[in-house]
Amino acid sequence: MSPLSRALSFTRREVLRLLAVTPLFSVAYRGGIAMAEDTAAPRPLAYRGEHQVKPLPFDPAKLTGLSEKLITSHHQNNYGGAVKRLNLIEQQLGGLPKDAAPYQMGSLKREELIARNSMVLHEAYFGNLGGHGSATGTFAELAKAAYGSLETWEAEFRLTGQSLAGGSGWVIVVYDPDSKSLHNAWAFDHTHGVAGGAPVLVMDMYEHSYHMDYGANAKSYVDAFFQNIHWDEVNRRLARLRVA
């Protein structure tokens, strides 16, 4: 069994424990009607819990200034753990009775947001690593249009990253379809996000992104991040968003 499949599969004990903690489908009758009431039917998409870990899109031994050990642990434990947790949460949501106490729904939806954004942002993060060079193409044009110059865009992006050093968070360049422009967004943890913004360049600032290699020296990590940006992928994302 590969580390990845291990990260995703549930042990029999885990499943039994989960069934014990919350009424899943099999025990839904105990608490009025559950969200996903028909236990014979396949669970609907929202409660399916079958997200899969995507493999790294690059050789983790070949980044500049970010070690294989760091990247592999980050991918397996932090990203893989989020996917696994999201699957549990979705199934637990499906088993929640429709007349549950509101805080039970609220806290599960918060956990879902944490796990889901962690999954999505980690995929975007690993997806925009594995390259090199300077910003090019559509991204470079849009960053210049929004910030006056690439230098100013980068200065704001880096300083926002520095403000998260020693803690958690993300710096996310989103494309905003309304203003048709790029925007640097601050996230203090997985829950934060720009309403309607599509992430096109993502930098993880959780300490698990750099501590093994750089200790508390977040600045050197940000330098290393910039050396590995896959600008072609960033521009492909913009193209998928139908940005000329």
Residues 201-220 that bind its own copies (CB under 8 A): 206-208, 211-212, 215-216
Per CB under 8 A, 89 contacts its own copies: yes
CB of 86 to its own copies, least distance (A): 10
CB 25, CB 99: distance < 8 Å: no
Number of residues forming the site for its own copies (CB under 8 A): 98
Element (H, E) at 170: strand 170-176
| C-alpha span between 173 and 202 (Å, rounded) | 6
**Which residues 144-163 are close enough to bind its own copies by CB under 8 A?**
145-148, 152, 155-156, 159-160, 162-163
Residue 57 is encoded by which pair of tokens? 């899109």
Considering only 57-65, 131-139, 172-180, 224-232, which stretch makes contact with its own copies by CB under 8 A? 172-180
Q: What is the arrangement of strands in the sheet containing 198-204, beginning at the earlier edge strand?
A: 181-187, 170-176, 198-204
**Which residues 48-67 are close enough to bind its own copies by CB under 8 A?**
none
CB of 192 to its own copies, least distance (A): 5
Helices (H), 46-168: 68-73, 80-95, 102-127, 137-147, 150-163
CB of 132 to its own copies, least distance (A): 25
| C-alpha span between 161 and 154 (Å, rounded) | 10
CA atoms within 13 A on the CB side of 177: 8
Per CB under 8 A, 140 contacts its own copies: no
What's the DSSP call for residue 79? I
Nearer to its own copies, 183 or 230 (CB): 183
Per CB under 8 A, 30 contacts its own copies: yes
CB of 229 to its own copies, least distance (A): 18
CA atoms within 13 A on the CB side of 170: 27
Residues 100-119, one symbol each (x = binds its own copies by CB under 8 A, - = not), give xxxxxxxxxxxxxx-xxx--
Nearer to its own copies, 132 or 174 (CB): 174
CB of 183 to its own copies, least distance (A): 7
Q: List 32's β-bridge partners, or say none.
A: 30
* 80-95 and 12-21 helices, crossing angle to 10°: 40
Considering only 32-40, 56-64, 126-134, 225-233, which stretch makes contact with its own copies by CB under 8 A? 32-40
Nearest residue to 194 (alpha-carbon basis) of 207, 210, 205, 179: 179
Considering only 1-9, 57-65, 69-77, 128-136, which stretch makes contact with its own copies by CB under 8 A? 69-77
**Which residues 181-200 are close enough to bind its own copies by CB under 8 A?**
181, 183-186, 188-199
